[in-house]
């Protein structure tokens, strides 16, 4: 690992944070120590970095805002890659071309400012473009699959390719990238349509108010824990079991929204995982419904 880090520094790939506390980079505010977090400056430097990863056989994970991840508390014996520098955004009529590191919330506000409709659903999703494409993030009966026309990716053979919407195979909280995790999202092309700026900003403002009232935004969490099973709402199933307020250690099923698990008081990653699995088991016992976890568990093996 030391030789790998030296080469990364020598090649001036980007900012390096050694022995980084993962909890600073996840919205649950949990996680162990990563050997390093590396911020490549551009695509060329990312390719150099992946070459070095292969040369030294280094474990790695690309992360965005850490808003859909549950890292374990043990050491991550590898590196995390953050694409914060991939934040260029260009608007061509109703088309937006945006880097993977750009904030989805910022983009929804920028679109409204330019009288572009179709991204209002994303105004409360605290992820990056790359993370949103990977997860096919959505809300209010819309998601990235409805608006993304092309995705620029880095393939395992280090080719830069564009995948079409069809090739991305978007489904409910799913995409091609989830099934091919050695592909890295670099950029997305998004197609919107004309709207009225004042009306779009009013929708965003109203939805922000509703989120504040219905979601526990004052506590660390990672948003909705479970996908909605067909014909049901996960939160309603959990609430009907009187599990609001249920705690394991410092983790709690939110009293505001039962499909949120919050870090109420210095929860460990294990506390959160145990509570997720407890809720999942209770719903299975009562309703014979297998709740699918929307979040990704990392470094538990």
Active centre residues (catalytic): 173, 224, 294
Contact 99, 133 (CB under 8 A): no
Distance CA 201, CA 212 (A): 16
In the block, residue with structure tokens 């690992």? 1
Alpha carbon 97 to its chain centroid, in Å, reads 19
**Closest by CA position to 144, among listed 98, 183, 181, 179:** 98
**Secondary structure (3-state) at 234:** helix
Backbone angles phi, psi at 290, to 5 degrees: -90, 105
Distance CA 236, CA 219 (A): 21
Contact 189, 169 (CB under 8 A): no
């Amino acid at each position: 690992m030391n030789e790998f880090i030296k080469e990364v520094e020598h090649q001036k790939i980007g900012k390096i944070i050694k022995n980084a506390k993962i909890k600073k980079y996840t919205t649950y505010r949990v996680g162990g120590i990563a050997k390093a977090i590396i911020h490549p400056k551009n695509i060329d430097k990312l390719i150099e970095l992946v070459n070095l990863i292969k040369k030294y056989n280094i474990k790695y994970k690309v992360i965005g805002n850490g808003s859909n991840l549950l890292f374990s508390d043990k050491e991550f014996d590898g590196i995390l890659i953050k694409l914060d520098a991939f934040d260029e955004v260009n608007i061509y009529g109703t088309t937006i071309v945006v880097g993977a590191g750009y904030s989805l919330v910022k983009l929804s506000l920028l679109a409204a400012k330019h009288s572009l409709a179709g991204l209002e659903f994303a105004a409360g999703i605290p992820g990056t473009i790359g993370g949103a494409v990977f997860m096919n993030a959505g809300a209010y009966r819309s998601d990235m699959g409805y608006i993304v026309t092309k995705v620029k990716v880095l393939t395992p053979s280090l080719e830069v390719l564009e995948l079409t919407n069809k090739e991305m195979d978007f489904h409910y909280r799913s995409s091609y990238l989830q099934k091919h995790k050695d592909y890295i999202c670099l950029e997305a092309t998004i197609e919107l349509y004309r709207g009225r700026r004042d009306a779009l900003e009013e929708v965003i403002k109203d939805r922000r108010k509703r989120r504040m009232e219905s979601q526990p935004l004052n506590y660390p969490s990672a948003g909705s824990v479970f996908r909605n099973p067909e014909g049901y709402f996960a939160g309603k199933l959990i609430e009907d079991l009187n599990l609001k307020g249920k705690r394991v250690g410092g983790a709690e099923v939110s009293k505001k929204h039962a499909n949120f698990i919050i870090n109420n008081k210095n929860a460990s990653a294990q506390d959160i995982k145990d509570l997720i699995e407890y809720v999942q088991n209770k719903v299975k016992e009562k309703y014979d419904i297998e709740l699918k976890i929307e979040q990704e568990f990392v470094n538990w093996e």
